[in-house]
């Protein structure tokens, strides 16, 4: 459905997006995750044809965004971070206007507007001025305008920002309901947003992709990947090096003198070998306990590795 190749965007010497490539299958909900300033919004704006890349290409369905932007944009519904709402219009009049400018045929327009309002749960405020709506209803109206022309692809940039917990749950459920029916790219800096909504995640940091994986695979990995927290009387590089040589250990960090975080390969039990090595080496083993990795750990590790 979407094919992005070697996407780069420069603003003078600043490289906002650097060689980003990925694809999204039809019916998939992709989480585009990263800290603030990572390049998420810039990438979304390029994908939707709002701005042009310095290098690279974007293909939406059968259409290349550079060669045939009108055809490519016709199958995209876009909710930017700040929804393009007109406060002085009623919800229904606004959606009717949006459907018209997006080229919906006159005989289909009424049904398309009704569908968008029903799907987004805003039928009860259809006659109210947008400027008088709550933040949650305004966000729903923003998603409805993205749906008004029945697009195959929805690009949602921070769709739950500024919402209260109940509104966030409602928007998440709405987005999840599109799975299989439409292709969705959800851009966010909130990890929970991705874990609760998406089928696959891409983590971007400083304009580059640092991790790309399905949510099911990530969940499986975190279930089997552990860190052994180790406290010794001994400390230093020699201890770290010897720990690293143990079969099944793939990383060792010493955040404090004598406190070690030993990363373990999937499914490998190294506790007995670590304790044996500690005793034989005379390190003074004070504490050893397993710590299961969470998706938050994966996110932080991906970003930290890139920064290092």
All CATH 3.40.50.300 domain ranges of the chain, comma separated, are 2-220
Over the stretch 138-188, which tens digit does the pLDDT of each residue have?
999 999 999 999 999 999 999 998 888 988 998 999 999 998 899 999 999
Spatial separation of the C-alpha atoms in residues 92 and 144, rounded to whole Å: 10
The answer to whether 33 and 194 are in contact (CB under 8 A) is yes
DSSP state of 14: E
Long-range (24+ apart) CB contacts under 8 A made by 95-100 are 95/141, 95/144, 95/145, 95/148, 98/145, 98/148, 98/149, 99/148, 99/149
Spatial separation of the C-alpha atoms in residues 193 and 158, rounded to whole Å: 9
Strands 226-232 and 259-264: antiparallel
pLDDT of residue 150: 94
Spatial separation of the C-alpha atoms in residues 291 and 248, rounded to whole Å: 16
186 — alpha (psi -120 to 50), left (phi > 0) or beta?
A: beta
DSSP state of 91: H
Over the stretch 69-107, which tens digit does the pLDDT of each residue have?
999 999 999 999 888 999 999 999 999 999 999 999 999
pLDDT of residue 218: 79
Spatial separation of the C-alpha atoms in residues 54 and 66, rounded to whole Å: 12
**H-helix or E-strand containing 227?**
strand 226-232
- Give the chain's mean pLDDT: 91
From residue 148, alpha-carbon distances to 58, 99, 157, 178 in Å are: 23, 5, 17, 14
Spatial separation of the C-alpha atoms in residues 11 and 217, rounded to whole Å: 36
pLDDT of residue 217: 80
DSSP state of 129: B
Q: Which two tokens stand for residue 29?
A: 């909900």
Calculate what percentage of the chain has a pLDDT beyond 90.
Answer: 74
Write the class of the CATH domain 2-220.
Answer: alpha beta
pLDDT of residue 222: 66
First to last CA, the chain: 34
- Vertex 234 angle, CA 230 and 237, to 5°: 90
Cβ neighbours of residue 138 under 8 Å, at least 6 residues apart? Answer: 83, 85, 130
Grade residue 290 by pLDDT with cuts at 50, 70 and 90.
confident
pLDDT of residue 308: 46
pTM for the whole structure: 0.78
Over the stretch 4-43, which tens digit does the pLDDT of each residue have?
999 999 999 999 999 999 999 999 999 999 988 899 999 9
Spatial separation of the C-alpha atoms in residues 249 and 264, rounded to whole Å: 5
Break the chain down into helix, strand, coil percent, rounded to 5.
40, 30, 30
pLDDT of residue 51: 95
Spatial separation of the C-alpha atoms in residues 100 and 51, rounded to whole Å: 23
All CATH 3.30.70 domain ranges of the chain, comma separated, are 226-292
What distance separates the 2 farthest-apart alpha carbons in the chain?
Answer: 83
CATH 3.30.70 fits 226-292, yes or no: yes
Grade residue 123 by pLDDT with cuts at 50, 70 and 90.
very high
């Amino acid at each position: 459905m979407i094919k992005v190749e070697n996407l780069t965007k420069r603003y003078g010497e600043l490289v906002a997006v650097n060689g980003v490539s990925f694809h999204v299958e039809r019916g998939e909900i992709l989480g585009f995750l990263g800290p603030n300033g990572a390049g998420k919004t810039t990438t979304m704006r390029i994908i939707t044809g709002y701005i042009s890349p310095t290098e690279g290409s974007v293909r939406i369905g059968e259409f290349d965004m550079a060669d045939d932007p009108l055809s490519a944009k016709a199958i995209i519904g876009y909710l930017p971070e700040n929804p393009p709402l007109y406060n002085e219009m009623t919800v229904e009049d606004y959606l009717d206007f949006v459907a018209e400018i997006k080229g919906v045929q006159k005989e289909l327009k009424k049904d398309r507007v009704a569908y968008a309002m029903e799907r987004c749960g805003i039928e009860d405020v259809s006659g109210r001025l947008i400027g008088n709506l709550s933040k949650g209803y305004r966000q729903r109206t923003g998603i409805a305008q993205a749906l008004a022309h029945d697009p195959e692809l929805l690009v949602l940039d921070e769709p739950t920002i500024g919402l209260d917990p109940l509104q966030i749950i409602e928007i998440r459920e709405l987005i999840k309901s599109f799975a299989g029916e439409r292709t969705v790219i959800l851009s966010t800096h909130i990890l929970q947003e991705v874990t609760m909504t998406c089928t696959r995640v891409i983590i971007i940091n400083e304009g580059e992709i640092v991790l790309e994986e399905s949510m099911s695979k990530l969940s499986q990995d975190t279930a089997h990947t552990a860190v052994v927290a180790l406290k010794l009387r001994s400390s230093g590089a020699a201890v770290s090096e010897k720990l690293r040589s143990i079969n099944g250990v793939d990383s060792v960090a010493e955040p404090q003198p004598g406190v070690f975080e030993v990363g373990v390969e999937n499914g490998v039990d190294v506790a007995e070998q670590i304790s044996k090595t500690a005793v034989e080496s005379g390190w003074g083993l004070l504490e050893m306990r397993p710590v299961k990795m969470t998706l938050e750990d994966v996110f932080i590790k991906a970003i930290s590795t890139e920064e290092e």
